[in-house]
Structure 1
Amino acid sequence: MPDSASLWRAFGTLLSLPDIKSRVAQVKAVIVVFIILFLLLASSSVLHLQGEWAVESLAIVVILLALNWFLTADTTNIVAGMMLWTVTIYAVSKAFYYDGLYDTALLLYPFVVIFAVFLGSRVMVVPLVCFMLISYYFIAYAVSSNMVVNNVLTAYPAWAKANDMAIMMATYGLGIVVIAKFIRALIAKLSQQKETNRLAKEESEKRILYNDLTGLPNAEKCKQDLEVCLQTSPKDGSLIGFVTLHLNNFNWINSTLGHTFGNELLKLLARRFENLQNDKTVVYHTSGIEFSFVKRTPDFESLNDFCNQIIRLTIMPVSMPDYGYEINCSIGVAAAPFDGNTYAELHRKASFAVYRAKEDEPNSHHFYDKEMESAIVRRLDLITDLKTAIEQNEFELYYQPKVHLATNTIVGAEALIRWHKGNEIIPPNAFIPVAEESGLINEIGKWAIETACRECARWQKIGMKGVTVAVNLSPVQFKRGNLPTYVFRALQQCGLDPNMLELEITESLFIDNADHVKQQIHVMAEKGVNFAIDDFGTGYSNLNYLSHFNASTLKIDMSFVRQMLQNKQQQHIVNAIIKMSRVMDLENVAEGVEDEQTARELQAQGCVYGQGYFWSAPVPRDKFLRLLKQHTYAA
């Protein structure tokens, strides 16, 4: 017989049931219950019955431990059957040798039936119940025939007792079967509900973690996966590349070809990018026009090749019904561990790199570096400062005279914006591009038109009649379509004749949204506002646009004028522009005149107006007013 220490070790092992749902665990649990029972019976026998049947009870414990050792996924039915038959035979044996039908050992029968119903099938339950019923009559016969001594004195006949117990056991067994069916039905229902909940959870997670349109994992899934990838990354010197791709012209596609076409295009690109996926590469659709890739790679060279592969897949012609189109993109790359160890860091830095790639050229990629982040942060700080400058009225208009070359008289001025940031004066080329990009140019441009009109009206009132003012326009100011509204409001508020206002536009307007711009220019030109083509000769120089956009003046770019005396080719270009303006009945203004000889040469070639440092640099309004009073102006 095993010692107590080994029994307790085995008992502790049996109590360790990590997965009660498995068949093995269920059988093991029943074995544990019976081991506890027989240990208690053995203890009770030692205390109250001078150890009778204690050895037998411990022997059953040893048999149960042996069955537990023999228990595997393939032997569960055999072990369960042997266990239940062992307990049943023990019960009938003890009843036969002691108190017969009144022996407490027969109380084990209900337990055996319960466990048989839940652990076994009909093949296991029916023989056991039949054996139990037969055992009742066998013991009754044994008692009646004096084969065994009945220690319980009673007038109740043994056969009647056997009948009662058989009826009770049969009824009890039937009840257990019915209850078991109810329980199994309930378990099946709960299992079905659990499966339904599991599928609903998976669907919910899919909606949360996957893009509805393309089916690719989204930004939240990317964040989760990347954090796991970073935590489990091997320390072998490899890189985890975070690649962000932006579709540059997708918004134009949506607005011109429609959202349906745009959605189909996104799905097509998603299928292409899925071809890049493997055990080291995952693709994500992180926003409407943004795809991201997480790539484990040995070095930066491999990551560079991967970016080129993405670009090639993106710019492949798109063959869709009725359309053939090419996408262009910009790619930014951040690499862990060098650029960060979190999704937030890597995504932010890859976005900085995307921004630099957009500034570079279409279909290019850039790796993150600290300098590009510093430049972008400076740009963001500049946007914040521009908003403050608008609120606190830190801008001022300077004026550069426009001179009639033949009479050397000031006939107008070009209004040029300056930004007084503390004690520093910031020129327009330092902040206008940022203002255009951020959209703040609309507020700044509106202020410039209102201020220039108000100042020009003041000139007229103090007797400087006929002196015009010119204001530069940004292409961004045409996008909203309300430019004529606030131009007319500015003229009306200060009572200025529209003929006194000249708006300068660049040739870049001729390409983007030509009809939209043309309509607004026509509305203003019909009311008398003049338009000048600024920096003519450096852009597209399409003569057809000049007639369509109601231009009244050509401004010859200073890059031609400044070198015209030293460079015959530049001189020929200036001469050609002057002749062309005269043929088209347009006024001409030469910018960048810095000396008297250049002014005379321009006049000799037929140029009418000049503007440049020869007469004056751009000056504040009070100084310009003094210039007007010092010179004879054209009435």
Structure 2
Amino acid sequence: MLKPPSSFKQIAATVLLFQDMKSRVAQVRAVIGVFIILFLFISISDLLHSNGEWIIESLAIIGLLLGLTWLLNGDTSNIVAGMVLWTVAIFALSKAFYYDGLYDTSLLLYPFVLIFAVFFGSWAMVLPLTLFMFLSFFGLAYAVTTELVVSNVSTHYSVWAKAIDMAAIIAVYGLGIVVITRFMKGLIAKLSRQKALDQAARKESERRMLYDDLTGLPNNQKCKADLNLHLSNSRKNGSILSFITLHMNDFNWINATLGHDFGSELLVQLTRRFLKLEDDSTFVYRTGGAEFTFIKQVRDFAALNDFCHQAIRTTTLPLSLSDYDYDVGCWLGAAVAPFDGNDFVELYKKAQFAVYKAKETELNSYQFYERQMEESTSQRLAMVKELKHAIEHNEFELYYQPKVELASNLFVGAEALIRWNKNGAIIPPNTFIPVAEHSGLIVEIGKWAIETACAECAKWHQLGFARMTVAVNLSPVQFKRGNLPNHVFRALQKHQLDASMLELEITESLFIEDAVHVKQQIHTMAQKGVNFAIDDFGTGYSNLNYLANFNASTLKIDMSFVRNMLSNPQQQHIVNAIIKMSSAMGLVNVAEGIEDAETAAELKTQGCAYGQGYFWAPPLPCAEFLSRLQQQSA
């Protein structure tokens, strides 16, 4: 026996099913499928229990429904839906007319017809079908009364009362379906709105994951996802795919000095410029704080060169920001697929090698990746690992080159020069110091050098060489952490060495990077009596203001002027000018690179106070230096 849906959950499930349909056509097709299954069950039931009296009609209706499915499209959906519902309603009435009238189970198909009519949302279907059902109830009652229909059901209940009851039930049932449907539609609308909000939130989340909040540019994750498509397109059209990384210059300095708002506005304006470079073959991404990446399809390397020049020109045009006219500098590094790699990781890594190589040349330049860049980086990384091992196992030692008073030809001090004793082989500082500075290990190495120099100078004093001073070279990196004075004072106190016996050598370039921060630390140490020497004077900026403002007490004349001064009058004039200038400013001068007696004599004549060089001794291990010092005093 067929039964209508009997619970709210079934109705809700049906409504949700309809809401999930992609179109009206899909809804009607689903209803036809339901009725086809229904009539298949009716056919089987009729075959088993009624000797197949209505099987032909049931199969005919199934054929009709299949034919309507074939006719179904967007234009005919309402007509087909109406035909389906009317076919089922007429079938139910016909079966009831020939069998048990108002008591025939086929009339239970009416609620199904009403449900689907309401779900189709057409009152043009609902009202006629409802009226048809009312008339069919009273028509059947009349047919039974006039014996047009012979009912097999015996009952004392009035057939007209039965018709009225069934009409009332259908009316209430229909109203209930309407109420529930409206409620469900409201619920579904609410769920749809929530779904839309969830989809919007998901899209926003995806946007935040794949796009930069500040500039709106796609980020490195999006770049990684897009790269495969770009690679595929380049293969199809036979072009070269270039992966270009752009690093801005001094962006951290901009944020620190001019403020993050200024830095953010700078990035936004640069983004507007870069977006003008975009076309069907050019795509721009922000892949880091001060890093942008271009993916560019080009015909050949000449076109790639042209684009790199264009990107640099676009970046370096002056910007007007917050009453500032600011010039942006940059470097570019390019890797090319398929030659340098076929995935994001490889191309990004190799573009980074190239951009760091560009930084070693000049501002506003670019480099293409070459294998040697990676090999150099690998060697540097290996050396960093070895330097860490050297620090842990105390593989460094200090050599000392005498500082000689030219008037007396006596040792009055020494410059401490670090050496790396690597498995018995002495590694000179110019080999590992740049790597140590770049990796930050120079801070730990420099701390060790200061403490060791103070300890050994204190031993010289204990042995009776009380006038001996020691000089230690400093790296700009040691000033950046701001705790250099603490290291110096701790070493002096630990070894009971007077601060005036320690001289710290700095280069002119140090002041260019962060003059205020450096000056503050130098003043802190100078107030305690530590001496400072300007090393390699004349080879850098040679700004006399630095000498006055940074407590320099000693000026060291670079060996490049001293070595050939006797054969080169121009260099001799430079040396003479530096000596006179330093004397006028009350600075002690030390000439480096003295290799013969004639040069030493000439410097003495010009008024130079001290000298260093192979004429007296090369840098010596501590024991040998002490031995030479004792020989001198013997």
The TM-score, its normalising length taken from structure 1, stands at 0.91
Residues 32, 510 of structure 1: CA spacing in aligned structure 2 closer, same or farther, 3 A cutoff? closer
Equivalent residue number for residue 241 of structure 2? 240
Whether 1:425 aligns to 2:426 is yes
Equivalent residue number for residue 599 of structure 2? 598
Give CA-to-partner distance per residue, 1:533-557, whole Å, 9 cap, x none: 2112111222232222232322221
Residues 232, 99 of structure 1: CA spacing in aligned structure 2 closer, same or farther, 3 A cutoff? farther
Equivalent residue number for residue 355 of structure 2? 354
RMSD: 2.4
Equivalent residue number for residue 311 of structure 1? 312
Equivalent residue number for residue 198 of structure 2? 197
Equivalent residue number for residue 114 of structure 1? 115
Give the Cα separation in 2 of the matches to 1:41 and 1:414: 109
Residues 102, 581 of structure 1: CA spacing in aligned structure 2 closer, same or farther, 3 A cutoff? closer
Give CA-to-partner distance per residue, 1:229-274, whole Å, 9 cap, x none: 4567644433333222222211111111111211222222222223
Give CA-to-partner distance per residue, 1:262-307, whole Å, 9 cap, x none: 1222222222223333444332222222222333444433333333
Give CA-to-partner distance per residue, 1:448-483, whole Å, 9 cap, x none: 122112212222221223122222122222233333
Offset at 1:336? Answer: 2.8
> Secondary structure of 1:532's partner?
strand
Unaligned runs of 5+ residues in structure 2 are: 1-17
Give CA-to-partner distance per residue, 1:167-214, whole Å, 9 cap, x none: 222222222222222222222222122112212222222333322222
Give the Cα separation in 2 of the matches to 1:177 and 1:93: 27
Equivalent residue number for residue 455 of structure 1? 456
Equivalent residue number for residue 23 of structure 1? 24
Give the Cα separation in 2 of the matches to 1:569 and 1:590: 16
Aligned ranges for residues 222-233 of structure 1 at < 5 Å? 222-227=223-228, 229-230=230-231
* Matched-pair contact (CA < 8 Å) for 1:501–1:530: yes
Residues 469, 47 of structure 1: CA spacing in aligned structure 2 closer, same or farther, 3 A cutoff? closer
Residues 170, 619 of structure 1: CA spacing in aligned structure 2 closer, same or farther, 3 A cutoff? same
Count the aligned residue pairs: 617
Equivalent residue number for residue 321 of structure 1? 322
Equivalent residue number for residue 631 of structure 2? 630
* Matched-pair contact (CA < 8 Å) for 2:281–2:298: yes
Whether 1:434 aligns to 2:435 is yes
> Secondary structure of 1:292's partner?
strand
Moved more, 207-216 or 449-458: 207-216
> Secondary structure of 1:362's partner?
coil
Offset at 1:416? Answer: 0.7
Give the Cα separation in 2 of the matches to 1:448 and 1:44: 102
Structure 1 runs (4+) greater than 6 angstroms displaced: none
Offset at 1:68? Answer: 0.6
* Matched-pair contact (CA < 8 Å) for 1:19–1:25: no
Offset at 1:420? Answer: 0.7
* Matched-pair contact (CA < 8 Å) for 2:262–2:322: no
Aligned ranges for residues 231-310 of structure 1 at < 5 Å? 234-310=235-311
Whether 1:491 aligns to 2:492 is yes
Aligned ranges for residues 495-534 of structure 1 at < 5 Å? 495-534=496-535
Corresponding letter in the other structure for 1:96: F
Give the Cα separation in 2 of the matches to 1:23 and 1:450: 86
Give the Cα separation in 2 of the matches to 1:156 and 1:457: 127
Moved more, 275-284 or 436-445: 275-284
Corresponding letter in the other structure for 2:60: A
Offset at 1:156? Answer: 4.2
Give the Cα separation in 1 of the matches to 2:229 and 2:494: 64
Equivalent residue number for residue 38 of structure 1? 39
Moved more, 211-220 or 450-459: 211-220
Equivalent residue number for residue 11 of structure 1? none
Unaligned runs of 5+ residues in structure 1 are: 1-16
Aligned ranges for residues 50-65 of structure 1 at < 5 Å? 50-65=51-66
Residues 423, 283 of structure 1: CA spacing in aligned structure 2 closer, same or farther, 3 A cutoff? same
Equivalent residue number for residue 389 of structure 1? 390
* Matched-pair contact (CA < 8 Å) for 2:454–2:470: yes
Residues 527, 150 of structure 1: CA spacing in aligned structure 2 closer, same or farther, 3 A cutoff? closer
* Matched-pair contact (CA < 8 Å) for 2:561–2:571: yes
Corresponding letter in the other structure for 1:351: Q
Give the Cα separation in 2 of the matches to 1:278 and 1:626: 74
Residues 606, 56 of structure 1: CA spacing in aligned structure 2 closer, same or farther, 3 A cutoff? same
> Secondary structure of 1:625's partner?
helix
Give the Cα separation in 2 of the matches to 1:259 and 1:616: 53
Equivalent residue number for residue 610 of structure 2? 609
Residues 618, 37 of structure 1: CA spacing in aligned structure 2 closer, same or farther, 3 A cutoff? same
Give the Cα separation in 1 of the matches to 2:152 and 2:453: 126
> Secondary structure of 1:512's partner?
helix
> Secondary structure of 1:397's partner?
strand
Residues 131, 485 of structure 1: CA spacing in aligned structure 2 closer, same or farther, 3 A cutoff? same
* Matched-pair contact (CA < 8 Å) for 2:398–2:419: yes
Give the Cα separation in 1 of the matches to 2:523 and 2:558: 25
Give the Cα separation in 1 of the matches to 2:522 and 2:44: 108
Equivalent residue number for residue 549 of structure 1? 550
> Secondary structure of 1:360's partner?
coil
Give the Cα separation in 2 of the matches to 1:153 and 1:465: 137
Whether 1:567 aligns to 2:568 is yes
Residues 578, 68 of structure 1: CA spacing in aligned structure 2 closer, same or farther, 3 A cutoff? same
Offset at 1:400? Answer: 1.0
* Matched-pair contact (CA < 8 Å) for 1:593–1:610: yes
Residues 517, 26 of structure 1: CA spacing in aligned structure 2 closer, same or farther, 3 A cutoff? same
Moved more, 238-247 or 147-156: 147-156
Offset at 1:308? Answer: 2.6
Give CA-to-partner distance per residue, 1:466-509, whole Å, 9 cap, x none: 12222212222223333333223322222223332222221113
> Secondary structure of 1:528's partner?
coil
Give the Cα separation in 1 of the matches to 2:45 and 2:297: 68
* Matched-pair contact (CA < 8 Å) for 2:470–2:501: yes
Residues 548, 164 of structure 1: CA spacing in aligned structure 2 closer, same or farther, 3 A cutoff? closer
Equivalent residue number for residue 15 of structure 2? none
Give the Cα separation in 1 of the matches to 2:488 and 2:153: 119
Corresponding letter in the other structure for 1:301: A
Residues 454, 32 of structure 1: CA spacing in aligned structure 2 closer, same or farther, 3 A cutoff? same
Give the Cα separation in 1 of the matches to 2:365 and 2:561: 34
Corresponding letter in the other structure for 1:553: T
Residues 500, 40 of structure 1: CA spacing in aligned structure 2 closer, same or farther, 3 A cutoff? closer
